Structure 1
Amino acid sequence: MTLTWNEFLYGAKEIPFWAVSLRTVILYSFLIFATRFMRQRQIAILAGHNYLVAAGIASLAAVRMVNPETSLVAGIVVIILYAAANVFISYIDVKIPRKVDRRAIILVENGKLIKENMKDARITIDNLLGQLRIKNIFSLSDVFLAVVEPTGKINVVKKQSTLPVTRKQMKFPIKNVSVSTILIYDGKVQEDNLRSLGYDMKWLDNKIKEKGFLQVKDIFLAMLEGDGTLHVSA
């Protein structure tokens, strides 16, 4: 089957499989370009218009990937225009945030619902209680502050009286908590990570022997957790 350049760009009732594949790769490449152009804000979907852009671009591109009669050129133009419009609106949102996106709204304060704010955020009591249960909060009286963010996520601050006792309050020594660090991966010591923590091979050998391992090559993953314990997996 012969395919003209015009049919490849603007679509046809039937096009070869290789042409469909190439059109898909081109559209996907433009999606990647658009995502990089819109930067981290779009990936995180921090505002309503960011969500609309993500959903719109993906759906429009998908249609053109599977339907040979659709125009490849039109798909590329739509992706570029969507990305440009999103960047422009995001710029306005940074300069004049209240004109584009919603503000954070307080739903519960000191255990009491704020009825007007619930209506303004279009959130029902069942929605709110469900979100609280996800956070292991089963009573409104335990909530000091509940805020719905512009993203729709509900953040909660519990009352101090309901929080567990901390090591500081019990006057226990404070443990140093940091990011977990890989020390051994696939039988190889990550020497840079080991040195950055101030340890040497002798310390690591002693630690893995305590875990019942004699050789580094027998270990698939050894990771120093944030609380100072060594996790080892063969």
Structure 2
Amino acid sequence: MTYLLVLYRVVTILVVFLLVALVLSKRHLGRFTIFDFIAAVTLGAVAGADISDVDKPHGPRIFALIAIGAIHILFTKMLLKNRKLGKLLTFDPTMIIQNGKIVVKNMEKVRYTLDDLLSHLREQGAFDISEVEFAILEPNGQLSVLKKSQHLPATPGDLKIPTQYKGLSIPLVLEGKAKHEGLRAINLTEEWLVNQLAGQGVTDVQEVFLALLNTQGQLYVAKYQDPSNIQKLDH
């Protein structure tokens, strides 16, 4: 009976967590502020106590989880409306590299190590630190990097080359199923799709894992692959 009770509590807590996560915006799932971190730790502590101590009532702790989520949402709205309050409760961006020079004082201030810096630079595609003009440690712990102008890739605009409009590709087949709403959106029929797939050697839509039509009218088709043809990678 105890195991069933624990299982019941785990399921209900997961459902509550899912609802809270759906209510929170993508910003909170991708970027943690100080208050986000505190709320997450508190939620975990309440949930852990509820699961481990089955002798205590379940209802008040579920209420506590919902209350924490509601307070978090309310507090976040307050931060959005009051910039001064937000600045008090979040970290400021920190300049780590300025005009190509490492600001050691700022690194020591935020306890940001040289290994951290080099690792985060590589994540941003900057393998040569001499190519970096500015690097800013953001409040969420990510490093924003601006390379020196001579190391930035040239764009068509820089070269004064005219380009065609490029918008979002429209999915026409997903996991072996034709997306009729996508076809209707661009005034195409399933017969047109079948003919286009046949031109790429596809006899059945179910053979296609993904098919996308871009704004240039080009159809990208990815078939389901035979596992025996997949290349194995060595360590």
**Structure 2-normalised TM-score?**
0.76
Are 1:55 and 2:45 counterparts?
A: no
* Whole-angstrom distance in 2 between the partners of 1:25 and 1:60: 15
Q: Is the 8 A contact 1:45 1:51 kept in 2?
A: no
Q: CA deviation at 1:230?
A: 1.0
Pick which of 81-90 and 136-145 moved more: 81-90
**Structure 2 equivalent of residue 131 of structure 1:** 120
Gaps of 5+ in 1: 1-14
Change (3 A) 1:39 1:163: closer
**Which amino acid is the alignment partner of residue 93 of structure 2?**
A
* Whole-angstrom distance in 1 between the partners of 2:52 and 2:214: 46
Q: Is the 8 A contact 1:20 1:65 kept in 2?
A: yes
Q: Secondary structure at the match of 2:133?
A: strand
**Structure 1 equivalent of residue 221 of structure 2:** 231
Are 1:93 and 2:79 counterparts?
A: yes
Correspondences of 1:81-230 after superposition (within 5 Å): 81-94=67-80, 95=82, 96-197=85-186, 199-200=188-189, 204-224=193-213, 228=218, 230=220
* Whole-angstrom distance in 1 between the partners of 2:9 and 2:208: 45
**Structure 2 equivalent of residue 8 of structure 1:** none
Q: CA deviation at 1:26?
A: 3.0
Q: CA deviation at 1:216?
A: 3.3
Deviations 1:166-213 (A, max 9, x none): 334444442443334321234443232134346555653453234222
Correspondences of 1:2-81 after superposition (within 5 Å): 15-81=1-67
Change (3 A) 1:132 1:229: farther
Deviating 4+ runs (over 6 angstroms) = none
Q: Secondary structure at the match of 1:232?
A: strand
Deviations 1:22-71 (A, max 9, x none): 33333333333444554444333441210221233124313422442444
Change (3 A) 1:201 1:123: same
Q: CA deviation at 1:158?
A: 1.6
Pick which of 48-57 and 147-156 moved more: 48-57
Q: CA deviation at 1:79?
A: 1.6
**Structure 1 equivalent of residue 233 of structure 2:** none
Higher relative contact order (CA 8 A, sep 6+): 1
Pick which of 82-91 and 159-168 moved more: 82-91
Pick which of 141-150 and 184-193 moved more: 184-193
Q: Is the 8 A contact 2:34 2:89 kept in 1?
A: no
How many pairs are equivalent?
Answer: 220
Change (3 A) 1:34 1:188: closer
**Which amino acid is the alignment partner of residue 44 of structure 1?**
G
Deviations 1:53-108 (A, max 9, x none): 12331243134224424442442243234224423442443212211111222221
